[in-house]
């Protein structure tokens, strides 16, 4: 009965490969997010979707492409992986109420690019 789940938990891959991370929430929330946490623990938002519509797209290389097949799922596909993409990626969700609401985070996916 995990609220926000991500797969895989760990991902080790070579430079230049393409990989995907999946996220699912069973909270009935309308809004989902992807955050990147670098090696210094700094958290930065990458994308946000509200009911399958992209509403936040920070300055992220276009090698990163989020996809939301329905409002309970938000996947992140990364093309041509680079060393600098190594980080922990967190998915989160919230019930959009027109103001910041509690964001519920998944356990994270640790991506290591070799």
> Strand order of the sheet with strand 4-7?
4-7, 19-25, 73-78, 64-70
User: Which of these segments, 16-24, 65-73, 76-84, 97-105, binds other proteins (CB under 8 A)?
Assistant: 97-105
Distances (CA, A) of 95 to 4, 12, 32, 105, 106: 13, 32, 9, 13, 15
User: Which of these segments, 16-24, 63-71, 78-86, 96-104, binds other proteins (CB under 8 A)?
Assistant: 96-104
Q: Is 105 in the site for other proteins (CB under 8 A)?
A: yes
**CA atoms of 21 and 111, how far apart (whole Å):** 9
Token pair 């009965």 in the structure block, residue: 1
User: Which of these segments, 11-19, 43-51, 69-77, 79-87, binds other proteins (CB under 8 A)?
Assistant: 43-51
The DSSP H or E segment spanning 62 is none
State which of positions 62-81 bind other proteins (CB under 8 A).
none
Q: Is 27 in the site for other proteins (CB under 8 A)?
A: no
Q: Is 54 in the site for other proteins (CB under 8 A)?
A: no
Smaller CB distance to other proteins: residue 4 or 74?
4
One residue of 8, 18, 44, 53 binding other proteins per CB under 8 A: 44
**CA atoms of 7 and 107, how far apart (whole Å):** 9
């Amino acid at each position: 009965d995990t609220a926000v789940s991500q797969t895989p938990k760990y991902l080790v891959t070579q430079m230049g490969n393409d990989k995907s991370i999946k996220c699912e929430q069973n909270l009935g929330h309308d809004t989902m997010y992807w955050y990147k946490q670098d090696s210094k623990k700094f958290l930065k938002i990458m994308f946000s979707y509200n009911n399958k519509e992209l509403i936040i797209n920070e300055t992220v290389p276009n090698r990163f492409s989020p996809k939301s097949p329905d409002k309970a799922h938000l996947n992140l596909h990364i093309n041509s992986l680079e060393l600098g993409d190594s980080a922990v990626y967190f998915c989160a969700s919230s019930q959009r109420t027109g103001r910041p609401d509690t964001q519920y985070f998944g356990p994270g996916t640790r991506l290591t690019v070799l």
